[in-house]
Amino acid sequence: MQDLLNGQLERLVALAPPEHRRIASLVRRTCAETLSLPPLPIETDVEGPADETESVAVEFAEQFSADVSSIGDDLRGRFMAALGDAAFPAVMLTYFADFLPRVRAGLAALALPVPWSDAVSWDHTSDLGDVLFNTFLPGAARLRALDPLTTEVVRLRGATQHNCRLCKSLREGHALDAGGSESLYEQIEWFETSKALSDRHKAALRYADALIWTPANITSDVAAGVRTYFTEAESFELTVDLMRNASNKIAVSLAADAPRVEHGTERYLIDEDGQTVYS
């Protein structure tokens, strides 16, 4: 399964719809500069935005990487108006440009192989949404090296860091059955001093915070904590899970992250096919 996911990550790097070639190059460069990380391979070299549409796409990508929860109505509105029908493809391309470099930095810090090189066989024909939503995200969810409670603890940390209202309103059933509870989840916010969260959970949460906020500076202590408490397969899954969870940035950036319930939380399951099944 890990080999399959490696191939899917490589495929995400290679996605290059011709009609969005300049936007793809611009957001790859912008996200990397914002994160102080090397950019993904770029098919078409561009010096900078050529018009107002490209300028607002760059502004949106910069904020998407820095703190997606800070994208306000003004920037969102200008982005949607400028990009029109290309807005959603541009957001998906920004998500790839934003999080794949983080994955590469995380795997490198953990001394794990990075599953792609700069020698890219560009994919000009695949549909971005199909590859992302029907292939990569379910594939990542099918990984089963990590225990469900650790997976959920890390997911909820990402939900609060990106301020995804939908994600914060959900609770995964396998994790609840494995000992998850609201009293435990409340302590994620101050996990360093928590008595209920294990050292394993804390190591995972430190790594999650590093990938979210300081991916160019994953300290040796953070990396050592992951290597101490997690196998290589678990560490890979933890890294890919963080990217899967961060797909919530797409919804947050577009203000499409409304919770499914007005009050409390809703239980759901990730089934064997990696699909989300609501109660």
Instruction: Please give the full DSSP string across 215-262, using - where no structure is assigned.
Output: GGG--HHHHHHHHHHS-HHHHHHHHHHHHHHTTHHHHHHTT----SSS
pLDDT band at 100 (very low <50, low <70, confident <90, very high): very high
Is the per-residue pLDDT at 4 higher than 90? no
- Predicted TM-score (pTM) of the model is 0.96
Question: What integer is the mean pLDDT of 226-236?
Answer: 97
Coil, strand, or helix at residue 103? helix
Is the per-residue pLDDT at 279 higher than 80? no
For residue 149, the model assigns a pLDDT of 98
Question: What integer is the mean pLDDT of 172-181?
Answer: 97
Is the per-residue pLDDT at 248 higher than 80? yes
What is the percentage of the chain residues whose pLDDT exceeds 70? 100
Question: What integer is the mean pLDDT of 120-138?
Answer: 96
Class of domain 141-278: mainly alpha
Question: What integer is the mean pLDDT of 99-117?
Answer: 95
Question: What integer is the mean pLDDT of 49-73?
Answer: 97
Domain boundaries, the chain: 2-135, 141-278
